[in-house]
């Protein structure tokens, strides 16, 4: 497997490099020093040696605390007014096709800022073909989606609002709706100087709002920052397994507990495709929309994932390593929601990438060699689950804000007046 960036120090790779570049963007001190401290200071001597050996042979970054703020792009600075506008727009279904579905519909704060079914709900009349990702901490990611297909939150928002099975909106109608809402006219003018709201600025405001939905004070952050009491004994044992025997650190590392690389870990195809016609239709629609050749379109029985980025057969069935942060609230798991609990996920890894019925990936040729039976006993599995939970702090909830109303362009009186 390739590593994002190789440097002299064996463990400075992948996500840590991202953390460093984020720190540079923020203009603050490099976070790498802090991470290294966490790395050295928090492990028992035995597991420290194990991790160091592992790190030097594989180039794994250590786990690291999340910086307090995500990087802010130079051309979309955060302001309170912009974030407030972005919040309204995130919850506003008028940024969508039939004005019934907003970002928050599929990224519901009370469902982990995601959607708590295997496949996400879709645009009315459809189901989505993938599990909804949480937008928690999405500002820290170098790219969006299970296949990382979009480079920024500013670019992600329109693809969500316009995507056929997501928002299914049209620019001109969404722009017209915003123009008919006086409160938005006022706010877009104040924030962006727009005479009339420009749709591009709606996406920028939403991205700014998303950058405020973060969690960086979890038990693991506290622990890595030196508070040894922040993890239970069970979690400390789970951490040693995570970094040692269970090998999770090979991919779930750095500040996000993800190296942002792509792997086929053996997740079996969605059972729902066999039972649910609508889900099957979306799957074929997406294969077609993403430019599959005819054979793939007709025969694929599993999601080709990262394949669509470069149409390389070795990418079939690969997905971005997800962050483990906030996963206490984001079940079900994996790109297709194959597992409903963290226990099931750990059982799956323990079996070497097979579910309880012995099913595995539909793309066996690309399955990662890093995934093999782990031989964990029940106590060890419980320790590992407890440790994964340390990547989540308290649940972050948010009520839907009151949305501004449309106003008619003119009143009946004005119309009568104009007709005279
Ligand atoms: C119909 C449901 C639906 C709607 C509406 C929707 N999303 Fe999503 N969102 C998803 C799904 C499903 C994914 C994962 C898709 C994939 O990887 O192919 C996703 C992924 C994302 C991601 C990527 C997170 C990551 O970890 O990379 C972000 C950010 C996001 N959505 C923000 C938004 C915003 C902003 C809006 C509104 C403009 C929105 N979404 C509307 C379902 C939806
Ligand atoms: C070879 C890299 C790799 C290793 C090793 C690995 N993972 Fe993963 N992990 C991934 C990828 C990739 C996914 C998403 C796969 C998909 O959706 O098809 C994932 C998904 C997950 C998820 C679901 C997250 C979500 O939001 O849906 C959890 C939880 C998880 N892994 C925990 C672990 C644990 C615990 C271990 C160690 C036993 C581990 N992983 C080992 C790459 C890895």
- Per residue in 18-53, pLDDT (tens digit) is 333 333 222 222 223 222 222 222 222 323 333 333
Mean pLDDT, rounded, of the chain? 86
The minimum-distance atom of ligand 1 relative to the CA of 167 is 5
Q: Is the domain of 227 the same as that of 200? A: no
Domain coverage including residue 48: 14-68+216-250
Cα 267 to ligand 2 centre (Å)? 9
Residue 331 lies in a domain: no
CB 323 within 8 A of CB 257: yes
Distance (Å, rounded) from C-alpha 147 to C-alpha 368? 16
Residue 147 lies in a domain: yes
CA distances from 360 to 8, 120, 268, 270 (A): 37, 22, 4, 11
Distance (Å, rounded) from C-alpha 52 to C-alpha 290? 42
Pocket test residue of 133, 200, 321, 332 for ligand 1, highest count of atoms within 8 A of CB = 133
Q: Is the domain of 155 the same as that of 228? A: no
Nearest by Cα to 117 from 269, 326, 340: 340
Q: Is the domain of 178 the same as that of 246? A: no
Distance (Å, rounded) from C-alpha 64 to C-alpha 49? 18
Q: Is the domain of 166 the same as that of 204? A: yes
Distance (Å, rounded) from C-alpha 167 to C-alpha 93? 9
| C-beta of 253 in contact with ligand 1 (< 6 A) | no
Q: Is the domain of 117 the same as that of 197? A: yes
Question: Mean pLDDT lowest for which of 1-5, 211-215, 283-287?
Answer: 1-5
Of the pLDDT bands very low, low, confident and very high (cuts 50, 70, 90), residue 58 is low
Element spanning 413, H or E? helix 412-419
Q: Is the domain of 145 the same as that of 230? A: no
Please check the confidence at residue 297 and state whether its pLDDT lies above 80. yes
What pLDDT sits at residue 8? 29
Q: Is the domain of 87 the same as that of 148? A: yes
Residue 302 lies in a domain: no
What pLDDT sits at residue 410? 82
Please check the confidence at residue 147 and state whether its pLDDT lies above 60. yes
Cα 254 to ligand 2 centre (Å)? 14
Element spanning 262, H or E? strand 262-263
Q: Is the domain of 41 the same as that of 115? A: no
Distance (Å, rounded) from C-alpha 101 to C-alpha 99? 6
- Mark residue 393 as left, alpha or beta (left: phi above 0; alpha: psi -120 to 50; beta: remaining): beta
The minimum-distance atom of ligand 1 relative to the CA of 323 is 26
Protein residue with its CA nearest to atom 2 in ligand 2: 251
Distance (Å, rounded) from C-alpha 326 to C-alpha 390? 9
Q: How many CB atoms lie within 10 A of CB 373?
A: 11
Pocket test residue of 106, 260, 327 for ligand 1, highest count of atoms within 8 A of CB = 106
The minimum-distance atom of ligand 2 relative to the CA of 1 is 1
Residue 59 lies in a domain: yes
The minimum-distance atom of ligand 1 relative to the CA of 153 is 29
Q: Read off the CATH number of the domain in which 170 is found.
A: 1.10.760.10
Cα 321 to ligand 2 centre (Å)? 6
Residue 412 lies in a domain: no
Residue 50 lies in a domain: yes
Q: How large is the average pLDDT for residues 382-401?
A: 98
What are the tokens at 249? 């650190």
CB 346 within 8 A of CB 355: no
Distance (Å, rounded) from C-alpha 289 to C-alpha 417? 51
Q: Which of 184, 210, 236 is the last residue of a domain?
A: 210
Judged by its nearest atom, the ligand closest to the C-alpha of residue 333 is 2
Q: Is the domain of 88 the same as that of 126? A: yes
The minimum-distance atom of ligand 1 relative to the CA of 126 is 1
Full-model pTM: 0.87
Distance (Å, rounded) from C-alpha 203 to C-alpha 92? 12
Q: What is the share, in percent, of the chain residues with pLDDT greater than 90?
A: 77
Q: Is the domain of 64 the same as that of 143? A: no
Q: How large is the average pLDDT for residues 414-418?
A: 89
| C-beta of 128 in contact with ligand 1 (< 6 A) | yes
**Number of domains forming the structure of the chain:** 2
The larger pLDDT score, comparing residue 40 to residue 141, is at 141
Distance (Å, rounded) from C-alpha 52 to C-alpha 299? 45
Please check the confidence at residue 286 and state whether its pLDDT lies above 70. yes
Q: Is the domain of 125 the same as that of 145? A: yes
Residue 357 lies in a domain: no
Cα 419 to ligand 1 centre (Å)? 47
Q: Which of 180, 210, 240 is the last residue of a domain?
A: 210
CB-neighbour burial class of residue 411 (10 A; exposed 0-12, middle 13-18, buried 19+):
exposed
**Chain segment 325-369, per-residue pLDDT in tens:** 999 999 999 999 999 999 999 999 999 999 999 999 999 999 999
Q: How large is the average pLDDT for residues 60-89?
A: 96
Q: Is the domain of 194 the same as that of 221? A: no
**Chain segment 224-239, per-residue pLDDT in tens:** 999 999 999 999 999 9
Q: How large is the average pLDDT for residues 260-269?
A: 97
| C-beta of 101 in contact with ligand 1 (< 6 A) | yes
Cα 28 to ligand 1 centre (Å)? 30
Cα 188 to ligand 1 centre (Å)? 24
Please check the confidence at residue 309 and state whether its pLDDT lies above 50. yes
Distance (Å, rounded) from C-alpha 109 to C-alpha 91? 10
What pLDDT sits at residue 296? 92
Distance (Å, rounded) from C-alpha 15 to C-alpha 203? 26
């Amino acid at each position: 497997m390739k590593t994002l960036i190789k440097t002299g120090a064996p463990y400075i790779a992948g996500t840590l490099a991202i953390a460093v570049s984020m720190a540079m963007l923020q203009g603050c001190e490099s976070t790498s020093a802090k991470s290294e401290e966490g790395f050295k200071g928090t492990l028992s001597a035995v597991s420290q040696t194990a991790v160091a050996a592992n790190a030097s042979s594989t180039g794994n970054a250590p786990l690291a605390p999340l910086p307090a703020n995500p990087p802010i792009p130079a051309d979309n600075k955060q302001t309170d007014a912009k974030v407030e506008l972005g919040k309204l727009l995130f919850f506003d279904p008028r940024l969508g096709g039939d004005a019934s579905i907003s970002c928050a519909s599929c990224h519901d704060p009370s469902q982990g800022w995601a959607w708590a079914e295997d496949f996400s709900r879709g645009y009315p009349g459809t189901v989505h073909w993938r599990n909804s990702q949480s937008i928690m901490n999405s500002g820290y990611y170098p790219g969006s989606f299970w296949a990382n297909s979009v480079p920024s939150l500013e670019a992600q928002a329109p693809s969500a609002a316009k995507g056929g099975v997501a928002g299914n909106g049209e620019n001109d109608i969404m722009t017209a709706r915003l123009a008919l809402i006086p409160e938005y006219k006022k706010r877009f003018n104040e924030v962006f100087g727009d005479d009339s709201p420009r749709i591009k600025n709606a996406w920028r405001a939403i991205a700014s709002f998303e950058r405020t939905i973060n969690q960086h004070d979890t038990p693991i952050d506290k622990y890595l920052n030196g508070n040894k009491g922040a993890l239970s004994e069970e979690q400390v044992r789970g951490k040693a397994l995570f970094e040692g025997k269970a090998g999770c650190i090979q991919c779930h590392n750095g500040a996000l507990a993800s190296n942002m690389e792509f792997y086929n870990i053996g997740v079996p195809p969605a059972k729902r495709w066999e039972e649910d016609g609508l889900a099957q239709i979306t799957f074929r629609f997406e294969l077609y929309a993403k430019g599959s050749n005819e054979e793939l379109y007709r025969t694929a029985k599993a999601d080709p994932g990262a394949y669509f980025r470069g149409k390389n057969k070795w990418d079939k069935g690969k997905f971005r390593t997800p962050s483990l942060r906030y996963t206490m609230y984001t079940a079900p798991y994996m790109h297709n929601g194959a597992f409903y609990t963290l226990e099931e996920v750990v059982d799956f890894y323990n079996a070497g990438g097979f579910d309880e019925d012995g099913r595995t990936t539909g793309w066996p040729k690309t399955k990662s060699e890093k995934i093999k039976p782990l031989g964990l006993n029940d106590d060890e599995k419980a320790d590992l689950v407890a440790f994964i939970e340390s990547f989540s702090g308290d649940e972050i909830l948010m009520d839907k804000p009151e949305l501004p109303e449309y106003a008619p362009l003119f009143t009946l009186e004005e119309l009568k007046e104009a007709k005279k």
